[in-house]
Structure 1
Amino acid sequence: MSEKMYPIPFRSLMNWILAEREKTGEVFGVHKRWIADPAKTLPIFGEKIESPFGPAAGPNSQLAQNIIAAYVAGARFFEVKTIQKMDGAELAACVPRPCILADDEGYNQEWSTELEVVQALDEYVKAWFALKIMAKVWHYGDPDGFVFNMSVGYDLEGIRGPKIDHYIESMKDASQLPVFAECRKVLTELFPEEAAFIASISPQVSHSVTLSTLHGCPPDEIERIASYLLTEKHVHTFVKCNPTILGYHDARTILDSMGYDYIVFDDHHFNEDLQWKDAVPMFERLQALADREKLQFGLKLSNTFPVDTTRGELPNDEMYMSGRSLFPLTIEMCRRISAQFGGKMKISFAGGADFFNCDKLLAAGIWPVTVATTILKPGGYNRLTQMAEKTAGMPFRPFDGTDTEAIAALSAACRTDPHHCKPVKPLPTRKSEEKVPWFDCYSAPCRGGCPIAQDIPEYLELCRKGLYNEALALITERNALPFITGTICAHRCMGKCTRNFYEDPVQIRAAKLLAAEKGIDARMASVVRPAPVPGKRAAIIGGGPTGIAAAYFLGRAGVACTIFERTGKLGGIVRHVIPAFRISDEAIDRDIALMQAYGAEVRLNTEAPSVEELHKMGYTHILYATGAWKPGKLNIPGNVRGVIGWMQERKAGANEPLGHVAVVGGGNTAMDAARVAKRGGAASVTLVYRRTRRFMPADAQELELAMQDGVDFLELAAPVKQENGALTCEKMRLGEPDASGRRSPVPTGETVELPCDLVISAVGEQVEEQVFTDNGITLSAKGRPAFCTNVPGVYAAGDALRGPATVVEGIADAARFAEAVIGAPHTYDIPAEAHPTEAEVIARKGILRAPGKACCEGERCLSCDTVCQNCVDVCPNRANVAVRLPDGRTEIVHVDKMCNECGNCTAFCPYSSEPCKDKLTLFQTTEDMDDSKNFGFCFLPDGKVRARLTTETVGDPDELPADAALLVRTIRDSYSYLYR
């Protein structure tokens, strides 16, 4: 594999479109097709567009197939990729690989076409012809309903040179280009009935340009270039502005206030770039010049934003930021420009535009809008359809000014908009530790993030269909505590959800609780106690969630068991410590009732006998499921209480007055304690943590709830002592990241004080060790036993095994224990109704939709185990292709000739893999295959196939392993357009 791309000959390009459209109804993998209303258009540059947006000059407008894919999905304004005097291999050698990272805010390190300028020109002409005939023959809209906009850079000398001059003149009139004649000839052969229309296709591909300049370009150079384009090239001209025009202080303040304080940049670009005081008079002069030339002039806001590479995001020291973090900078630029020019300056927008704000931009008079980062995410080009549909319902009117008040409102609102603000905590990686397989790689990351591997897409689908009884039945195959986990589960599944790349994760936990509430009566009625299993009897020490779950799994299998619980009620820390505003006793009791329906014996107010005594009582297996009740040691002087004991007392009714409270720690228990203190009337509650909020181990939702309750935070502080109504803390700073990216706190020697009458220590809760040592159980250096201890028949689970564990981790351990007792894994069937059709799943791709009611979350679930294809969606060049095999399976093949190693597919693959390198690759030539290390194949002129799988072979496809043979034959017989 190399970064070299092959431009596809126009005949091959059209054969691909025709064959794929006939076979699947798609074009270059775009599932959605948008049909414009030819009567509804916007005028621009003396032409018209049927929708006010399209791809920005970037990876999605570099090749003909990119432009075609965007058009099919609804784009009608195409800012084709920037060209400059440096091009082709010379430029490609300057671009580090990978060069794109778009998993959150976007970053890139490429800036203009990697083709030679003459190749880029050919690509745009080919796309021009393809769009014309597609509009005419397949009725996508008016063949004249779209506009191509050139993008050139970066200095006057280069733009005036013969290479760029030929490009501009040829885009203005392509009639003398060989590719123009070739395209006309090919289309006439393919569509002879349209010969007259094809002959009439205009050679005027573009007579407008967006000027892009490098950082540090002097104002007089910008003005000279724009003046040259207006007067000598006589093209409508927009000048692209850099966000640095805002000034360092304002840009830094905006990003810091929105959670992007970790993005690093200094002021040198701000000092070297175009300044506001120079920009305003220059734009006034250029507007006057354009008016004299009877041309349109405007500003393109904005260019990408240069920032430092500090976390290994991409190779090289600097990269360009885009996407949602660029939006607040760009819209603030819009506000200032609109106000300065009284709404009379035409503004084209790029910088974090997406479905959620495109209508607001259009309503404010800002158009055309171009996008990049949003269509580099899952859904890809398909996202454009939703934008087209949304804006199509709005009034279209010629430019009559920008609405400064509306823009100001947009600028203000985005500062607190969750679609643009960074979450309080970064989301965890969505990747599994597994490598992507060559075949059957569709995978649901949510299931991989769940310790019990819950059938999440399936029960969401059942909920979507209103089959709550069936959904709960499926949930309880693996999950013994649907009410508890439906209420307080740490929901790691949601951190893995592919929807995070769209807007917000599917509300999996809420859907589970809904299924539990609606399905519990039927579930209880369906309980049938199995025949007792002879010779097996289990003792469970501890009646918390882990113990309850173990009793459920054993009872369901017919194994007799007894829970020994030292308190008067089951539920453990969840019942006795976690506050009632987080989970009710009723929810806990309903899970207990389900467990007891299978016949487990419960002994309350009973200390467990020793292991020896339990064996004498006939118990063959013993599980320690004791909770982490022992407080951790904070080791500072003063009024310090352990969090578990303090919260237990508060929940039991203690209501001593609270003064100023400090909670030390950053986990979920710390958040609970802080909220309990706040709701208990404390004069103030401050959560003290050695790192920043971003590094707190608490779930993001629990952290946000604490913030909503008014808890204060003292970050980068380590407590030293509490005395005289104050807590003294040493200020910390974050050191350099370690190999995992985690930054350790480093003492500074400075101190800070805060009012404090009580310190609650929420650090390092533990399980009492004596219960293990008294029974001869060996402990690790951390004071924990193994799952299967050194004492025969004795096991540990949950907190007893892990230290403080989540409820669902305890359930996973309980299921593992039950399997050890039973001697076989639990098996079950998933109802057919739990699987959506492939068409239903594909219809959800590219649709941004914020969470709603829990009953509707199945509509948002992308059912990744039915259709994944993230690597297909996000490849701007369409180099990852979904191939339908005769047996009904859909497999992914990587097409080498279309890949430039941008790396975008890597971020979105749910496996720890790079699809562009790790999926089977179709090579165009044997030379390409020799240049690559990828496993794959290419077709030889004699009809044989050369394959590199475990070993390299040449022969008939049937000689390959079965799956590979089927894939190769299918491509040869049904997808030959991929390589011909």
Structure 2
Amino acid sequence: MADPQGFLKFNREEPAHRPVPLRLMDYSEVYEPAPDGQIERQATRCMDCGVPFCHEGCPLGNIIPEWNDLVRQGRWREAFDRLHATNNFPEFTGRLCPAPCEGACVLGINDDPVTIKNVELAIAERGFEEGWVQPIKPTLDTGMRVAVVGSGPAGLAAAQQLKRAGHAVTVYERDDRLGGLMRYGVPEYKMENRWIDRRLEQMRAEGTEFRTGVSPTAADLNAYDAVVLATGTPVPRELPVVGRELEGIYPAMEYLNLQNRVCEGDTNTPAISAKGKKVVIIGGGDTGTDCFGTALRQGAASVTQFDIRPRAPKHRAASTPWPMYPLVYRTATAHEEGEYVISGDESAAEIEALGLATRQPGTPLGNRVYNVNTVSFHGDDGRVQQLRANEVQVVNGRREAIEDTDFEMDADLVLLALGFSGAERGGVTHELGVAFDERGRMVRDSEYRAQIKPLFPGFKPPVYVAGDNGRGQSLIVWAIAEGRACAAAVDADLMGETALPVAVTPQKQPLSVRA
């Protein structure tokens, strides 16, 4: 059993961050390697609870106490096998998942929870270092062909599971590279794209076929025995206010995509750059925060992030009791960078790289403001130069403007990070006659089957929906879980039974996420 006193011996420790001035000069990941023994000590804090709520908090159903205890004992290879039994891509979730498992950790009731996410990442990276990540080739060929449309985490997870079940799998991706929003939406300072390429090497060796730069038609898909749609929810939510048509106002993903293409080496400078500009980010979620860190690296003159919500409390809010994912004030690495105060002693290289020439010593690089609603945009010659906003408060469940709180702010680059309004309705989705609900999600049943009315005559294969396009905008861990579960549903339909594991259904909600 685990060390029942581990949490008494060791406090929670997280990996150190690279110094702010240093990391703002590149797009490398912000974390320093963990010192020797740190991960083992953190794994020792896990009590192997009688009822480990972290299982329910994790959509993948990761058997967290088992691999924590194996790491504690230095049995890394066994921990690696246990982790991969439930998660195809722990190196992705270990970097990008907000860790709902930690919100459900029993230790977190009255103490700091176990650093589950960091242990997970350490196990995955140890596996790559030791050469344990090898292609797992199927032991049989079913003769069935499956098309997966979309190469984000849901599509890749579904593809890998179906290939290992013995089916011939082809993944279609309309972009020039694989990975979906992991590649072109997540900044490289959070996860470098080489980690995606590394895992894709394993999938290619297993026999998965990839076709990039291709948007398949219904005629293309009709040649398969089953089709999985995992196209995500790329349609951005708009802000319909006066002045929205002005130049200099862009959806967040368009901005992030262009910078990631610079990191890929496609071009030297992004078509939309924050360098020397007064940047306002509208939206207080993860995507807005990604824009925050990217704008700082591009040398913005100022960066301000608007959040229409009030600032979260320092400790878990009563509205999200354990084991729900806690509503609590968090400081992302990008916000940590924004809090960096100019000393005046920076080197010439730092001044140039960080855009400090226009700033006064003693001022932070960026800031966040709360309870703010944007009312309108204004500018000359068709380009945004200013916005107007006011403060809001919640009254009877509705946000209302607070009198005499209107203000104006200079802004020559505005990024809209308001979430997404659903999946795209054109192209093959239209050809297949996929039904959509009022939230822009593809309609599906409890076995992931899509509701379709194909326009293509004689269309035969069943169509399934996995990931955000069926669930709605969600977490990477949910996408992988859905891809795995959808693969099991496809395999069961094709073969009459399946041995692929199922951790979730479309209706399941974990205890750590509010419905």
What TM-score does the superposition give when structure 2 sets the normalisation length?
A: 0.70
User: Could you give the per-residue CA deviations for residues 543-580 of structure 1, whole angstroms, max 9, x where no partner exists?
Assistant: 11111111111112112110001122111111112111
Q: State the one-letter code of the partner of 1:722.
A: F
User: Could you give the per-residue CA deviations for residues 879-922 of structure 1, whole angstroms, max 9, x where no partner exists?
Assistant: xxxxxxxxxxxxxxxxxxxxxxxxxxxxxxx99xxxxxxxxxxx
Partner of 1:539, secondary structure, is strand
1:723-742 matched pairs, under 5 angstroms: 723-724=378-379, 725-736=385-396
Number of aligned residues: 387
Partner of 1:745, secondary structure, is strand
User: Could you give the per-residue CA deviations for residues 612-669 of structure 1, whole angstroms, max 9, x where no partner exists?
Assistant: 4412x1x111111113322221113143200001111122223433411111112111
My pick for the range that moved more, 798-807 or 559-568, is 798-807
Name the counterpart of 1:468: 76
Counterpart contact for 2:289–2:335, Cα < 8 Å: no
Name the counterpart of 1:690: 308
Name the counterpart of 1:779: 436
Counterparts of 2:297 and 2:220, CA distance in 1: 46
Counterparts of 1:702 and 1:548, CA distance in 2: 30
Partner of 2:389, secondary structure, is strand
Partner of 2:488, secondary structure, is helix
Structure 2 segments unaligned to the other structure (5+ residues): 11-48, 263-268, 318-324, 339-365, 380-384, 453-460, 502-510
Counterparts of 2:327 and 2:96, CA distance in 1: 11
Counterpart contact for 2:217–2:431, Cα < 8 Å: no
Name the counterpart of 2:485: 816
Q: State the one-letter code of the partner of 1:788.
A: R
Counterparts of 1:764 and 1:782, CA distance in 2: 12
Q: CA deviation at 1:729?
A: 0.6
Name the counterpart of 1:704: 332
Q: CA deviation at 1:598?
A: 2.1
Which one has the bigger helix percentage?
1
1:290-689 matched pairs, under 5 angstroms: 442-520=50-128, 521-525=130-134, 527-534=136-143, 536-610=144-218, 612-615=219-222, 617=223, 619-636=224-241, 637=243, 638=246, 639-653=248-262, 654-655=269-270, 656=273, 657-689=275-307
User: Could you give the per-residue CA deviations for residues 99-120 of structure 1, whole angstroms, max 9, x where no partner exists?
Assistant: xxxxxxxxxxxxxxxxxxxxxx
Q: CA deviation at 1:735?
A: 2.4
Pick aligned residue for 1:789 from 446, 450, 453:
450
1:854-933 matched pairs, under 5 angstroms: none
Q: Give the 3 Å change call, closer, same or farther, for CA 784–478 of structure 1 in structure 2.
A: same
Counterparts of 1:600 and 1:780, CA distance in 2: 32
User: Could you give the per-residue CA deviations for residues 138-181 of structure 1, whole angstroms, max 9, x where no partner exists?
Assistant: xxxxxxxxxxxxxxxxxxxxxxxxxxxxxxxxxxxxxxxxxxxx
Partner of 1:770, secondary structure, is coil
Q: Give the 3 Å change call, closer, same or farther, for CA 532–673 of structure 1 in structure 2.
A: same
Q: Give the 3 Å change call, closer, same or farther, for CA 510–443 of structure 1 in structure 2.
A: same
Counterpart contact for 1:668–1:699, Cα < 8 Å: no
Name the counterpart of 1:760: 415
Q: Give the 3 Å change call, closer, same or farther, for CA 523–699 of structure 1 in structure 2.
A: farther
* Higher RCO by CA contacts (8 Å cutoff, separation 6 or greater): 2
Pick aligned residue for 2:425 from 769, 790, 794:
769
Counterparts of 1:544 and 1:804, CA distance in 2: 13
Q: CA deviation at 1:515?
A: 0.8
Q: Give the 3 Å change call, closer, same or farther, for CA 526–789 of structure 1 in structure 2.
A: closer
Q: State the one-letter code of the partner of 2:169.
A: C
Counterparts of 2:431 and 2:284, CA distance in 1: 33
Q: State the one-letter code of the partner of 2:439.
A: K
Counterpart contact for 2:282–2:418, Cα < 8 Å: yes
Name the counterpart of 1:751: 406
1:85-100 matched pairs, under 5 angstroms: none
Name the counterpart of 1:805: 474
User: Could you give the per-residue CA deviations for residues 252-277 of structure 1, whole angstroms, max 9, x where no partner exists?
Assistant: xxxxxxxxxxxxxxxxxxxxxxxxxx
Q: CA deviation at 1:698?
A: 11
User: Could you give the per-residue CA deviations for residues 308-364 of structure 1, whole angstroms, max 9, x where no partner exists?
Assistant: xxxxxxxxxxxxxxxxxxxxxxxxxxxxxxxxxxxxxxxxxxxxxxxxxxxxxxxxx
Q: Give the 3 Å change call, closer, same or farther, for CA 491–825 of structure 1 in structure 2.
A: farther
Name the counterpart of 2:458: none
Counterpart contact for 1:549–1:811, Cα < 8 Å: yes
1:38-77 matched pairs, under 5 angstroms: none
My pick for the range that moved more, 690-699 or 594-603, is 690-699
- RMSD over aligned Cα atoms: 2.8
Name the counterpart of 2:342: none
Partner of 2:432, secondary structure, is coil
Counterpart contact for 2:152–2:182, Cα < 8 Å: yes
Counterpart contact for 1:730–1:747, Cα < 8 Å: yes
Counterparts of 2:418 and 2:99, CA distance in 1: 22
Q: CA deviation at 1:499?
A: 2.2
Q: CA deviation at 1:806?
A: 1.4
Counterparts of 2:171 and 2:326, CA distance in 1: 30
Name the counterpart of 1:299: none
Percent identity, aligned pairs only?
28
Counterparts of 1:775 and 1:658, CA distance in 2: 46
1:4-83 matched pairs, under 5 angstroms: none
Q: State the one-letter code of the partner of 2:399.
A: P
Name the counterpart of 2:344: none
Counterpart contact for 1:730–1:752, Cα < 8 Å: yes
Counterpart contact for 1:469–1:522, Cα < 8 Å: no
Name the counterpart of 1:895: none
Structure 1 segments unaligned to the other structure (5+ residues): 1-30, 33-378, 387-440, 737-742, 829-909, 912-980
Q: CA deviation at 1:456?
A: 1.0
Partner of 1:676, secondary structure, is helix
Partner of 1:652, secondary structure, is helix
Q: State the one-letter code of the partner of 1:488.
A: L
Q: State the one-letter code of the partner of 2:488.
A: E
Q: Give the 3 Å change call, closer, same or farther, for CA 597–473 of structure 1 in structure 2.
A: farther
Q: CA deviation at 1:825?
A: 5.1
Larger Rg: 1
